[in-house]
Amino acid sequence: MEEKKTAGTQIKEIAERLGVSQSTVSVVLGGRGDSIRISKETQKRVLDMAREMNYRPNIYARRLRHAEEDVPYVIAVFWRTDGLNSRMARFIRGLYEASERKNCRVEMVIQPYKPGDLMAHGDMLSGNRISGAIISGLTTADQQELEKGDYSIPIILFERESAKFHCLMTDTFRTGEQCLKYMAAPEVKTAAFIGFNNNNRSERKMEAGFIFGCRDRGIKVREDWNVYLEYSSYEYGYEAAEKVLAHVELPSAWLVADCRLAGGVVDCCHDRNLRIPEDIRLIFFEDSGILKYNKPPLSSVDVPAYEMAETALDIIVLAGTQQMDIPIRREHSPLYFIRESSGKQ
């Protein structure tokens, strides 16, 4: 009465209904019915009943039973569905190779989530179901919900500030300054930042660093020249470039917060007969394959996914034994890919 049963069917139930023993059911369901010489008829009855009762084996019970020699770290990687791109793949690779270098077994569970709906997978984070979690692409709302919970596993946020969880980030303020530095030149008169509406602190700091860099160098930049977009696409990039061009004086230096805007930005400049980098200097955030082989090659700056993966693994391993009351906060330097579009050095 009191005791709640699990929702799913278990082997025991199948056995009871059929009036056979658990082992018989287990063996048949495990595909070893023939080798153990269970009668064909019994096998069929078991299989039919399993189907009828919609039986699904509990993988965790099986694994426990098999008692693996070397228990792996089970690491959940939460990634936004709209960010499932090559950067995610790079991160996975980084995590894999870090685990090889450290010679520790890792099982990577990738858990996509819809922005704003992270907590739909909240049960994964509680009850010690995993060794640790890495969460990327968090929105402010998701983070608020997340912070409400109480977790006993290490949780690592990417590019987000938190007093409660471990944070791995790039120093974006400095990145903004540095990007301006790469593009600055005596002839550069104005600058602009093309970013997003979504209230992301990390990006704001990049913008701030960029603007302060401009101030230091006497390059004009005004908040109302900057453009804030809803979304990243070719079309938005084109439109953003048009808007900026309505204001800035040439030559100008632009820091663009997402490489998926690159095609549109570059084409707009081209359509207006503006030369890159002579008239417009450009650096994009995130280094995708489109940039390097553009004419001219486009400069970019990217998150060091590879190193961040290694640090994340370090934290999870450490948290395995250490009691970590104070969350770790680590800033990595970004990766700069300086090519022609930002002007000659």
The residues of the shown chain that bind its own copies, judged by CB under 8 A, are 6-8, 30-32, 47, 50-51, 54-64, 66-74, 81, 84-86, 88-90, 92-93, 96-97, 107-112, 123, 127-131, 152, 234, 260, 262-263, 267, 288-290, 292-293, 320-323
Whole-angstrom CA distances from 199 to 124, 138, 194, 234, 243 are: 27, 12, 13, 21, 20
Supply the DSSP symbol for 30: T
Looking at beta carbons only, is 55 or 236 nearer to DNA? 55
Whether 78 contacts 134, CB under 8 Å = yes
345, interface contact from its own copies, DNA, none, CB < 5-8 Å by kind = none
Q: Which of residues 33-62 bind DNA (CB under 7 A)?
A: 36-39, 42, 55-58, 61-62
**139 forms part of the interface with DNA (CB under 7 A):** no
**Sign of the CA dihedral 131, 129, 134, 260?**
positive
**335 forms part of the interface with DNA (CB under 7 A):** no
**23 forms part of the interface with DNA (CB under 7 A):** yes
Supply the DSSP symbol for 220: B
Find the binder of DNA among 16, 21, 93, 102 (CB under 7 A): 21
**144 forms part of the interface with DNA (CB under 7 A):** no
Measured distance CA(334)–CA(287) in Å, rounded:
11
Strand (E) or helix (H) holding 37 = none
Provide φ and ψ at 11, rounded to 5°.
Answer: -55, -40
Looking at beta carbons only, is 26 or 342 nearer to its own copies? 26
Provide long-range contacts, Cβ within 8 A and 24+ apart, for 150-153: 150/126, 151/125, 151/126, 152/128, 153/125, 153/128, 153/319
**65 forms part of the interface with DNA (CB under 7 A):** yes
Interface positions with DNA (CB under 7 A): 3, 5-6, 8, 10-12, 19-24, 26-27, 29-30, 32, 36-39, 42, 55-58, 61-62, 64-67, 127-128
